[in-house]
Structure 1
Amino acid sequence: MGPREIPTMDALRLANSAFAVDLFKQLCENEPAGNVLFSPICLSTSLSLAQVGAKGDTANEIGQTDTKPVQMMSMEATLCMGNVDGINCKIIELPFQNKHLSMLILLPSDVEDESTGLEKVEQQLNSETLLQWTNPSTMANAKVKLSIPKFKVEKLVDPKASLENLGLKNIFNENTSDFSGMSETKGVALSNVIHRVCLEITEDGGDSIEVPGSRILQHKDEFNADHPFIYIIRHNKTRNIIFFGKFCSP
């Protein structure tokens, strides 16, 4: 047997993105008009360990402007922003205070009757388009008037059916599972996977950061997230997805 090939950082990032997008779309099918939130890197790490047999605030200060049940937060700052041609979708990056993480928001421009406005985005969404849409080279610094909801999402996800639909069936079947690295007993399998995740976005923060080499747009754009959107929290250096979600209602 030859030496084991070690995946490159690019390969790991692509695998993380592919798993995140595929699972996100599966979960959205189960909750087409509901909030969705999960941590792909947490799930993939846990499942990987099982298969081998092993045991925030944003970087800008945001002011509250509303006291309604859905509290909107607003700020004016220079932020990295882009547009996705063909599906009328805006993308904005909100860096967190520690500069290691950023939140990316995908906001559809058109909201039709009896729709969330996300249908076109979800149809076009895959691992390749996500990396393309959120690539820094396709975005530019812009002076933005930003409004986003203050929200807290807590989800208890049962992703077993979704994971099985993605091809991860062996680990749930005692006839096909292989946990020999963890137990000498044959027929050991996972009965279920329970994933609990909580995310809260607040108005406290610090200074904005700018992307080196990006052109500065002189006009002021508006980014008003007063309707459903997709959001991603990403590790900036590796571009790995830490959280993936859809916000539809408080």
Structure 2
Amino acid sequence: MSISWLYLLLACLCVIASCHHVPGHEGGHDGHEHPEDDQHPAESHQESGHLPCLKIAPSSAEFAFNFYRQIASQASGKNILFSPVSISTAFMLVTLGAKGTTLDQIVSGIGFNHSVISKKEINDGFHHLLQLLNRPDAHIDLSVGNALFSTDKFPVRQEIVDDARNLFQADIMPANFQNSEDAVNQINSYIEKKTHGKLVDFLKGLDQDTKMVLVNYIFMKGYWEKPFIPEFTWKRDFFVNNKTTVQVDMMERTGYYSSYHDKELGCEVVRIPYQGSASALFILPEEGKLNQVEQALGRETLLKWETSAEEWFLDLSLPKVSLRTSVDVKEIFQGLGVTEVFTDYANLSVFTEQCPLKISKAIHKAHLNIHENGTEAVATTFIEAVPQMDPPDLTFNKPFLLLIVEHLTRAILFMGRIVNPNEP
């Protein structure tokens, strides 16, 4: 049986201040008021619990943590960065054309239980999520989108095209896969444009039997609500492990931060808000506790950190980071039980009446840039009253974890582990 290939590309950019039918297959508060810090993702918008995006939030969060643990088990001692939103949205596009076991495995793999939530509720949740993340009044530069590249010689069913466009805001793009070089250039140009030039030459080549390419991208550019001052960035030691120490540019700022010391897990947690509706959660495990903290990552742990955090006056030191990562999503998904869609038994028959399809590759690339103010030069004046005392010192000078959360949707936009800030 001839099998044609479908590519799944996930172009994730995070720039933060300083994303075939087979026979037999069936279809402690300090007293100062800081209102901007009082709103936590798990606590805010309680009155909006009926929103479609909030129905998928718990399962989406569990997928993020499961995916992270799967990567961490295969990437010991390495930097990690990925966008759960990008990956899950891309595979939701795939579910438009899937049936049977193939569909069930994908839905389960991205965290959902059909006995608890219907496929329509999941679709509606992602549709609403994309609407909110792309809202123009969010006060943060954030865009998430999709594209479906196909050829007239391999027509996709019109209902699939309509659902991709209407549910997932997908651009429908004609492509000539018989001219592989032109198709690669077209897809790369699309990704480069959508990521504002930060991801260039994303795709290196296409298999000769490629019939369709699905792309998801996420772009975020945020500015710290309370920026660091470049003059207070110094060269400091960062302890990668017991044998390796590197010099990094360490940003320093003294001020009020929402933080929590988790004695049980052995880590410090600090939330740094962006201007707008998102914040970054930095987790610093104690010596020898990194694996313990990673294994404990989950919705309950995140909720404990968010609800237990209090305002503290801290002398915070955070390294500047600029790194690029690449994840073989196919390999990670197979570890999560999503296997059939990558084999000759894949049931993606809803996409087309022509030859059977399977996913050949699923690639996710990400870029992270953390610095003092943002990704563009801005003039900012910030005045903050501080107590007359020496604040506690909190220095991120050893491997730490990072989560970026959008408050309204409770979506984990990005998640990662920084082992060595100097590794590109």
**TM-score under structure 1 length normalisation:** 0.83
Q: What do the CA deviations read for 1:122-142 (whole angstroms, capped 9, x no partner)?
A: 122233323333x2x221111
Kept in 2, the 8 Å contact 1:233–1:244? The answer is yes
Given the alignment of the two structures, is residue 65 of structure 1 paired with residue 242 of structure 2, yes or no? no
Specify the code of the residue in structure 1 equivalent to 2:287.
V
Deviations 1:2-58 (A, max 9, x none): xxxx98443311111111100101111111111000001000000111111345332
Q: Which amino acid aligns with 1:204?
A: N
Provide the rounded CA distance (Å) in 1 between the counterparts of 2:347 and 2:85. 22
Question: In the alignment, which of 98, 117, 125 is matched to residue 297 of structure 2?
Answer: 125
1:234 maps to which residue? Answer: 405
Distance 1:19 1:7 in 2: 20
* In 2, Cα distance between equivalents of 1:18 and 1:58: 27
Residues 61 and 207, structure 1, Cα contact 8 Å, conserved in 2: no
Cα deviation digits, residues 119-172 of structure 1 (max 9, x gap) = 110122233323333x2x221111111100000121111121211111222221
Q: Which moved more, 1:10-19 or 1:70-79?
A: 10-19
Structure 2: where are the runs of 5+ without partners?
Answer: 1-49, 98-163, 165-213, 215-221, 237-246, 375-379
Identify which of 279, 284, 291 aligns with 1:107: 284
Q: Corresponding residue for 2:70?
A: 26
Query: Does the C-alpha gap of structure 1 residues 184 and 132 become closer, same or farther in structure 2, counting only changes over 3 Å?
Result: farther
CA distance, structure 2, for counterparts of residue 207 and residue 240 of structure 1: 30
Q: Which residue of 1 aligns with 2:255?
A: 77
Contact 1:21 1:126 in 2 (8 A): yes
Q: Deviations over 1:62-83 (max 9, x none)?
A: 1343146411001011111112
Q: Secondary structure at the match of 1:220?
A: coil
Preserved CA contact (<8 Å) 2:328 2:362 = yes
Superposition deviation, residue 219 in structure 1: 7.9
Match of 2:359 among 182, 190, 199: 190
Question: Which of these residues, 166, 172, 175, is aligned with residue 342 of structure 2?
Answer: 172
Alpha-carbon distance between aligned partners in 2 of 1:227 and 1:171, rounded to the nearest angstrom: 39
Percentage of identical aligned residues: 27
RMSD: 2.5
CA distance in structure 1 between the aligned counterparts of 2:264 and 2:390, rounded to whole angstroms: 23
- Alignment CA distance shift 1:41-1:73 (3 Å): same
Say if 2:61 and 2:411, in contact at 8 Å, map to a contact too: yes
Contact 1:59 1:207 in 2 (8 A): no
| Deviation larger for 17-26 or 59-68 | 59-68
Does 189-198 or 218-227 show the bigger shift?
218-227
Stretches of structure 1 lacking an aligned partner (at least 5 in a row) = 1-5, 209-215
